[in-house]
């Protein structure tokens, strides 16, 4: 029984530089190309933190400046469901990336995040190459709260799936805890048109 089914996504990273030829999926799933099953508490925990994006573009969307008129400040990104938690839900149960509220203290209650319920419907973030100049070749997000099995899927430049990852790291609590937070992402030389987290 799910007390609350929701999906919190406080960071979307997208960037474009030359990527290796075959697609790489990154996440807590043991079947991922790169298994990353540790808590994401700040950007330095990202597998993209050490990549040089200076020849392309790089955006880190943390939703902290989101408001009722500007849900996403990064250009060329749209979502089919949900919105900033303070706008579409209210002042309670925020669950941001830990560092977004200024202090790594095991809580994301004072940060902003993307919210959609029910998470079982998923949220798809789509990238517009005309606005960005190109599709991102690296794209990722951080799941911060919800329940049940978490799924992530990324799509190539033609909208063809690059694969699906799953995770089971929800802690069963909805009070901003951050140890459960995990990164999911994809790298694809031809570009990434969308990525999509969902709860099953």
Among 29, 45, 100, 156, interactor with Ca ion by CB under 5 A = 100
Among 45, 98, 153, 156, interactor with Ca ion by CB under 5 A = 98
Residue bearing tokens 């597998």: 47
Among 86, 117, 144, 166, interactor with Ca ion by CB under 5 A = 144
Q: Residue 153: which of 200, 181, 194 has the closest Cα?
A: 194
Distance CA 24, CA 190 (A): 12
Among 35, 87, 105, 190, interactor with Ca ion by CB under 5 A = 105
CB of 146 to Ca ion, least distance (A): 7
Span of 4-12, 52-60, 74-82, 153-161 interacting with Ca ion by CB under 5 A: 4-12
Q: Which residues bind Ca ion (CB under 5 A)?
A: 10, 62-63, 95-96, 98, 100-101, 105, 107, 111-112, 144-145, 171, 173, 180-181
């Amino acid at each position: 029984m799910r007390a609350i089914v929701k999906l919190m996504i406080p960071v979307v990273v997208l960037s474009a530089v030359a990527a290796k030829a075959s697609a790489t999926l990154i996440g807590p799933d043991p079947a991922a190309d790169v298994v990353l099953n540790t808590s994401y508490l700040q950007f330095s925990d990202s597998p993209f933190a050490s990549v040089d994006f200076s020849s392309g573009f790089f955006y880190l969307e943390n939703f902290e400046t989101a408001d009722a008129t500007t849900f996403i400040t990064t250009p060329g990104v749209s979502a089919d469901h949900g919105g900033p938690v303070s706008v579409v839900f209210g002042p309670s149960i925020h669950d941001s990336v830990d560092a977004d509220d200024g202090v790594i203290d095991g809580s994301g209650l004072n940060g902003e995040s993307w919210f959609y319920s029910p998470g079982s419907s998923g949220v798809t973030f789509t990238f517009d190459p005309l606005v960005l100049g190109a599709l991102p070749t690296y794209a990722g997000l951080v799941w911060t709260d919800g329940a049940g099995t978490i799924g992530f899927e990324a799509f190539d430049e033609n909208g063809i799936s690059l694969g699906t990852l799953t995770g089971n790291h929800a802690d069963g609590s909805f009070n901003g805890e951050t140890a459960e937070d995990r990164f999911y992402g994809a790298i694809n030389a031809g570009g990434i048109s969308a990525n999509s987290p969902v709860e099953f």
